[in-house]
């Protein structure tokens, strides 16, 4: 256990209603913090103004509270929303610019979105955009032609490894396996990869528990984190809930969102069921989150995805 107090977080994106998959990761993040006497922070990851809203964020908070997953700091009441932290991202961006690590990219919007989404299946391994080599005159000509640039960060030719609390050692070569990645979209919206690092760093988060689909983002986040002068948190990636095809449950699976679940079940039934799926209970009996704290240990938590046979 680290000497300093554990600071963990929930970092939901309010782009839709909370669903069973988010709740699974949120319960484990909460148990991790509570079982170590740490501080739980709630940060609303509402970077994308087209997909996120304050109403959806308020609904997410309500769903978390309904489940009994509380937090000590952050949330809407304290303005802990990425949409309000542009100045912090601007400062980090300038720092990277001063280090010569940023270049403008004039590629199409579809390519940029694929490169910036946290759960993107289309991550472009080894990507170094041709824009990296453009001269200032070429960039100026593109700007004059009305093209708006996104901004990419230039990754080093380096392998980085992370020892994940659940999944063990994970290695990536930043240049070959990740490639340069977007930190600011051409419409000015900050990218998740930059925002999450700046926020965890500035908010003193030293413990990250989240879905294993974000494991592949972790080495680049650690690199960005140390490049910006922060100390990286420790990580624990948890299994995903998947459908029978092995696809991660998402906000598209409306039958498993909290609008429906709250009509059918009590919070204790859901928490107890999730604890069972995680390996923390032998049977899916009802439980309050607090009931699970004394017996919580990562050794009991399953490491493989959970297949839910949903219609
Ligand atoms: N906001 C991200 C999501 O909802 C999570 C980011 C993170 O935990 O690093 O998927």
Query: Mean pLDDT over all residues of the chain?
Result: 92
Is 295 a residue whose pLDDT tops 60?
yes
For the residues 112-122, what does the mean pLDDT come to? 52
For the residues 276-282, what does the mean pLDDT come to? 97
Residue nearest to atom 5 of ligand 1 (CA): 11
- What is the pTM assigned to this prediction? 0.92
> Which tens digit of pLDDT belongs to each residue from 155-194?
999 999 999 999 999 999 999 999 999 999 999 999 999 9
Hey, what domains does the chain have and what are their CATH numbers?
A: 7-84+204-307 (3.40.50.620), 86-192 (3.90.800.10)
Query: How confident is residue 4, by pLDDT bands cut at 50, 70 and 90?
Result: confident
pLDDT of residue 197: 98
Q: Which of 214, 225, 238, 248 to mutate to test the pocket of ligand 1 (most atoms within 8 A of CB)?
A: 214
For the chain, give the percent of residues with pLDDT over 90: 83
Nearest one of 160, 168, 290, 166 to 225, comparing CA atoms: 160
Ligand 1 centroid to Cα of residue 273, in Å, is 23
Atom of ligand 1 nearest to the CA of 213: 10
Is 115 a residue whose pLDDT tops 70?
no
DSSP bridge partners of 153: 102, 181
For the residues 249-266, what does the mean pLDDT come to? 84
Q: Are 128 and 263 in contact (CB under 8 A)?
A: no
Ordered DSSP codes for 236-285: EEEPPEE-TTSPBP-TT-GGGBHHHHHHH--HHHHHHHHHHHHTS-SS--
Residues at CB less than 6 angstroms from ligand 1 = 11-13, 45, 118, 196, 210, 214
Atom of ligand 1 nearest to the CA of 200: 9
Distance CA 303, CA 301 (A): 6
pLDDT of residue 135: 95
> Which tens digit of pLDDT belongs to each residue from 72-113?
999 999 999 999 999 999 999 999 999 999 999 998 767 655
> Which tens digit of pLDDT belongs to each residue from 193-237?
999 999 999 999 999 999 999 999 999 999 999 999 999 999 999
> Which tens digit of pLDDT belongs to each residue from 55-74?
999 999 999 999 999 999 99
Ligand 1 centroid to Cα of residue 12, in Å, is 6
For the chain, give the percent of residues with pLDDT over 70: 91
Residue nearest to atom 7 of ligand 1 (CA): 11
Query: How confident is residue 121, by pLDDT bands cut at 50, 70 and 90?
Result: very low
DSSP bridge partners of 163: 169
Distance CA 73, CA 62 (A): 15
Atom of ligand 1 nearest to the CA of 221: 9
Query: How confident is residue 249, by pLDDT bands cut at 50, 70 and 90?
Result: confident
pLDDT of residue 111: 61
Query: How confident is residue 2, by pLDDT bands cut at 50, 70 and 90?
Result: very low
Atom of ligand 1 nearest to the CA of 210: 8
Buried-state track 88-119, b at ≥16 Cβ within 10 A, e below 16: bbeebbeebeeeebbbbbbbeeebbebbbbbe
> Which tens digit of pLDDT belongs to each residue from 23-48?
999 999 999 999 999 999 999 999 99
- 140: phi then psi, degrees, rounded to nearest 5: -60, -40
Query: How confident is residue 128, by pLDDT bands cut at 50, 70 and 90?
Result: confident
pLDDT of residue 228: 98
Query: How confident is residue 7, by pLDDT bands cut at 50, 70 and 90?
Result: very high
Distance CA 204, CA 217 (A): 20
For the residues 273-279, what does the mean pLDDT come to? 97
Query: How confident is residue 126, by pLDDT bands cut at 50, 70 and 90?
Result: low
């Amino acid at each position: 256990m680290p000497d300093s107090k554990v600071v963990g977080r929930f970092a939901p994106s309010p782009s839709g209603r909370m669903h069973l998959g988010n709740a699974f990761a949120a319960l484990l993040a909460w148990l991790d913090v509570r079982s170590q006497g740490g501080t739980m922070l709630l940060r609303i990851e509402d970077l994308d103004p087209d997909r996120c809203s304050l109403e959806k964020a308020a609904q997410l908070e309500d769903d978390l509270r309904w489940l009994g997953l509380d937090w000590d700091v952050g949330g809407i009441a304290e303005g802990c929303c990425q949409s309000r932290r542009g100045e912090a991202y601007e400062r980090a961006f300038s720092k990277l610019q001063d280090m010569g690590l940023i270049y403008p990219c004039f590629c199409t919007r579809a390519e940029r979105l694929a490169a910036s989404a946290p759960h993107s299946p289309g991550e472009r391994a080894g990507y170094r955009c041709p824009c990296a080599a453009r001269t200032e005159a070429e960039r100026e000509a593109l700007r004059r032609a009305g093209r708006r640039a996104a901004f990419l960060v230039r990754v080093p030719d380096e392998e980085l490894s992370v020892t994940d609390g659940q999944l063990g050692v994970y290695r990536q070569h930043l240049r070959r396996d990740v490639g340069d990645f977007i930190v600011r979209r051409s419409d000015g919206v900050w990218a998740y990869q930059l925002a999450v690092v700046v926020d965890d760093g500035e908010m003193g988060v030293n413990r990250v528990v989240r879905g294993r689909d974000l494991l592949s983002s972790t080495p680049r986040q650690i690199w960005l984190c140390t490049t910006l002068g922060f100390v990286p948190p420790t990580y624990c990636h948890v299994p995903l809930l998947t459908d029978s095809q092995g696809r991660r449950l998402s906000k598209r699976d409306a039958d498993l969102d909290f609008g429906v679940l709250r009509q059918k079940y009590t919070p204790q039934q859901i928490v107890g069921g999730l604890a069972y799926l995680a390996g923390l209970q032998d049977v899916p009996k009802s439980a309050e989150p607090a009931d699970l704290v004394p017996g919580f240990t990562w050794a009991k938590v399953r490491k493989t995805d959970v297949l839910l046979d949903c219609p």
